[in-house]
Amino acid sequence: MKVHCPRSVLVISGMLLSICLFIYCVDKHPSTPQPARPDTPPEPYAGSLSCAGCHKNIYDTHIHTAHYLTSQAASLKNIKGSFASGENKFIFSDYTHVAMEKRKDGLYQVEYNEGVERKARRFDITVGSGTKGQTYLYWWKDSLFQLPISWFTAANQWSNSPGYLRVAFGRPITSRCLECHSTYVHVTSPPDARVEEYDHNILFGVDCERCHGPGLKHVQFHGQHPEEKTGKFIINPASFTRQQKLDLCIFCHGGRLEKTKPSFSFQPGDTLTNYFAMDTAQLNAADIDVHGNQYGLLAASKCFRMSQMTCNTCHNTHVNEAGKPALFSERCMTCHQDNSATHPQPASAPACKLKTLSATQLKQNCIDCHMPLQPSQAIMVQLEGETAPTSAYMRTHFIKVYPDETKKFLQSVKKSK
């Protein structure tokens, strides 16, 4: 059956295509350079470096966390991919490729078609610590856009940015994205703007003030009153109710939330539902992706439902604890102790019943059996030369027994002997 398209639609489509082609061919102006970290953080923020004077030990460990490193001014130091010849290209087709190039005024992603440069955009912001990967943003006037090429750590190579089937530089970055990849950005555009605009003075990373609230008044007060040992004008999440602690994490790890108030309005201790419309659909845990909705998976777990645990029961946000299954397993054991007079356990937290390994071995790794790595369907990239997209693997937060993963774990233990 033929589908006839109205002539007016064809005319408008042709006009839009002509405009896009014009921009595509001639629009090569450089973007505005981005400072490393703001010298003067926007009020009422003080910047995490201000915290180091009194909280040096915490600051020194926090700057190595994925939260802190989730956004930075782009540089050779923090971009994981190579700019060396032979390692700096991503080929889309026989005719089109993107090259990562060092130029006099910065680092660029450059699109070439049949060897002719079509468009160049600067690496202005690095998003992601590189644990799983990175993507990159560029400024266009006062708006931010995603570059077409990202870095995929598992394959140690450049990849297309998720969802980019062809070269494209036009994906705008929303303030909702920035809420979870920075501490503060001032939105300068009106609420109904199609493409949002921002002040360039970005407070990068998810740092101290994202969880403790703006700290300028706190820093000023204690600078003037060093004898005062009780923290004033600062938020301490340790004093929160369980739901307040959870809301602080659900804000970025609770799936798709539809904001009902402007971005960056929500502050630690606030009630999340006053700022976002929650997704009330009752999803089966098997249908929740391992990326982006860790809370949804955790909330479906018996461990969570039968206890008062929060995210902080297992995670110390001040320290980089990635890749330490024994450490996390130790935290599991605070509830799942062996039956004994010295370690009584609640009925809801039984000890591991696996008898093929010693108790000592079991205590060293609960994670691979009960929270295995699983492929994300939301974060998939196209690697050069591959026909099918490749998923990023992330740990599920749906805690349960995974028989196949348990078999793999037992086999790995046998091989290591």
What does the H/E/C string look like for 123-176?
A: CCEEECCCCCEEEEEEEECCEEEECCEEEEHHHCEEEECCCCCCCCCCEECCHH
Token digits for 83?
A: 């700019």
Burial class of residue 299 in the structure, from the number of CB atoms within 10 Å of its CB (0-12 exposed, 13-18 middle, 19+ buried): middle
Burial class of residue 417 in the structure, from the number of CB atoms within 10 Å of its CB (0-12 exposed, 13-18 middle, 19+ buried): exposed
Q: What is the mean pLDDT of residues 140-163?
A: 96
Residue 406 has pLDDT above 60, yes or no: yes
79 Cβ neighbours under 8 A, 6+ residues apart: 107, 123, 126, 134, 136, 151
Helix (H, G, I), strand (E, B) or coil at 247: helix
Using alpha carbons only, what angle is made at residue 131 by residues 283 and 176, rounded to the nearest 5 degrees? 50
392 Cβ neighbours under 8 A, 6+ residues apart: 132, 133, 152, 154, 291, 375, 376, 379, 380, 381
Whether 79 and 110 have beta carbons less than 8 Å apart is answered as no
Which helix or strand (DSSP H or E) is residue 96 part of?
strand 96-103
Q: What is the mean pLDDT of residues 180-188?
A: 98
pLDDT band at 22 (very low <50, low <70, confident <90, very high): very low
pLDDT band at 32 (very low <50, low <70, confident <90, very high): low
Q: What is the mean pLDDT of residues 295-306?
A: 95
pLDDT digits (tens, 9 = 90+) for 207-241: 999 999 999 999 999 999 999 999 999 999 999 99
pLDDT band at 363 (very low <50, low <70, confident <90, very high): confident
Whether 101 and 107 have beta carbons less than 8 Å apart is answered as yes
Q: What is the pTM of this model?
A: 0.88
Q: What is the mean pLDDT of residues 361-381?
A: 92
Residue 159 has pLDDT above 60, yes or no: yes
pLDDT digits (tens, 9 = 90+) for 377-402: 999 998 988 888 999 999 999 999 99
Domain definitions of the chain by residue range: 22-235, 282-416
pLDDT digits (tens, 9 = 90+) for 323-357: 999 999 999 998 887 654 444 445 557 778 887 88
Residue 302 has pLDDT above 90, yes or no: yes
Q: Cis link prior to 346 (omega < 30° from 0)?
A: no
Q: 258 pairs with which residues across the strands?
A: 277
Token digits for 243?
A: 């739901």
- Among 394, 392, 372, smallest CA distance to 294 is for 394
Q: What is the mean pLDDT of residues 56-71?
A: 98
Q: What is the mean pLDDT of residues 103-114?
A: 97
DSSP type of residue 30: P
Token digits for 110?
A: 């450059």
Look at phi and psi of residue 101 and say left if phi exceeds 0, alpha if psi is from -120 to 50, else beta.
beta
Parallel/antiparallel/unpaired status of strands 171-172 and 143-146 = antiparallel
